[in-house]
Amino acid sequence: MRVSTVSGFAVSARSAVVATNSPINDRVALHTKQAPYRTYAMAFEIARDVLPDALYWDTLDPYHYVRLQPGEGKTDFLIVGGEDHKTGQADDADDRFAALADWIKGLVPDIGTEATRWSGQVMETVDYAGFIGRNPGNRHVFVVTGDSGQGITHGVVAGQLISDLILKGESPWRELYEPSRKTVRAIGDYLAENATTIRSFAEYVAPGEIDSADKLRPGEGAIVREGLTKVAAFRDEDGTLHKRSASCTHVGCHVHWNSLERCWDCPCHGSHFAVDGTALNGPAVSPLGSVG
């Protein structure tokens, strides 16, 4: 097969592996069986040996997870994350971080000062097991997705599983992670997650969040209706106004503003776009359309 990039680079190979968090080679084969979630994380200073080095998580909803990161001297960093929500369905990062801080301080009173904070995106499959193996409908194209926040673990699994499939034609873990597997037992979760797409398309008939892009202050983004078109508008610090179509270039869902990351998020399958429309995260590979 021959794989080509938009920049003109091309390579010929017997097999190809698509390890892009969310697959960019198919439009719907796997995307309807997993959903994007925004997750939040903070790092706090903590004295060495206060907490045993282990992987911690709870079963709350939204759930939380805790990791230790070695530091210098006698100080390490305690990484706490969670407070997840469906991508594009909330824009309240400050509240999420506050909840995280309250939760961990209640459990670890000896925690030190906050060092940094950030957010990311995880792909949750409907049956909670990753999709690692042959892409549905292909013999020589392999995918790695549905990490559910276990990217390091799944990276190791994928390296062994996919190499076995390419070199030996089989793996002892093939069936467990088979991307083409049926998810009948998870039909309820499947229907609930895909209802997001229906709600997203319905947003095209709703009013804009503000009635004019002229009302945007520097650093603000919002959805504006201009006639029959929904516009993703952002004004940067020097006053420049960026206006792009609010339609995701993957399957056309309605994007939402993410004020923490300053990007446009697609709630259906997790695509992200920069304020100028550039595609930042798959499955979309094309920029948001221009409006004029």
Query: Which pLDDT score, from 0 to 100, does residue 192 have?
Result: 62
Contacts 24+ apart (CB under 8 A), 210-217: 213/241, 213/243, 216/241
Q: Which helix (H) or strand (E) holds 163?
A: helix 151-167
Are 64 and 83 a contacting pair, CB within 8 Å? yes
Residue pointed to by tokens 């002229």: 214
Query: Which pLDDT score, from 0 to 100, does residue 128 have?
Result: 85
Query: Which pLDDT score, from 0 to 100, does residue 202 have?
Result: 75
Domain boundary among 125, 143, 168: 125
More confident residue, 36 or 193: 36
Q: With H, G, I as helix, E, B as strand and everything else as coil, classify residue 167.
A: helix
* pLDDT one-digit tens code per residue, 3-60: 887 778 898 989 999 998 889 888 888 888 899 999 999 999 999 988 899 889 898 8
Residue 277 lies in a domain: yes
Residue 180 lies in a domain: no
Residue 255 lies in a domain: yes
Q: Taking the CA of residue 216 as centre, how many other CA atoms within 13 Å lie in the half-sphere pointing to its CB?
A: 27
Alpha helices (runs of H) in 12-150, residue ranges in sequence order? 93-107
CATH number at residue 247: 2.102.10.10
Using CA atoms, how far apart are residues 92 and 100, in angstroms rounded to an integer? 13
pLDDT band at residue 191 under the 50/70/90 scheme: low
Please determine, for residue 183, whether its predicted confidence score (pLDDT) is greater than 80.
no
Tell me the mean pLDDT in the region 185-195. Answer: 60
Residue 171 lies in a domain: no
Q: Note if the bond before 267 is cis, omega within 30 degrees.
A: no
Residue 144 lies in a domain: no
Using CA atoms, how far apart are residues 43 and 119, in angstroms rounded to an integer? 12
Angle, CA 198 vertex, CA 269 and CA 243 arms, to 5°: 65
In this structure, the chain runs to a length of 292
| Average pLDDT of the residues of the chain | 90
Please determine, for residue 180, whether its predicted confidence score (pLDDT) is greater than 70.
yes
Angle, CA 158 vertex, CA 155 and CA 162 arms, to 5°: 155
Asked which of 102-116, 200-214, 269-283 is least confident by mean pLDDT, the reply is: 200-214
Question: How buried is residue 28: exposed, middle or buried, by Cβ count under 10 Å (0-12/13-18/19+)?
Answer: exposed
Q: Greatest CA span in the chain, whole angstroms? A: 61
* pLDDT one-digit tens code per residue, 83-142: 999 999 999 999 999 999 999 999 999 899 999 999 999 999 988 899 999 999 999 999
Residue 65 lies in a domain: yes
Which range of residues forms the domain containing residue 120? 38-125
Q: With H, G, I as helix, E, B as strand and everything else as coil, classify residue 80.
A: strand
Are 291 and 241 a contacting pair, CB within 8 Å? no
Q: Which helix (H) or strand (E) holds 154?
A: helix 151-167
Using CA atoms, how far apart are residues 216 and 41, in angstroms rounded to an integer? 29
Residue 227 lies in a domain: yes
* Cα radius of gyration (the chain): 21
Please determine, for residue 185, whether its predicted confidence score (pLDDT) is greater than 60.
yes
CATH number at residue 99: 3.30.70
* pLDDT one-digit tens code per residue, 227-242: 989 999 999 999 999 9
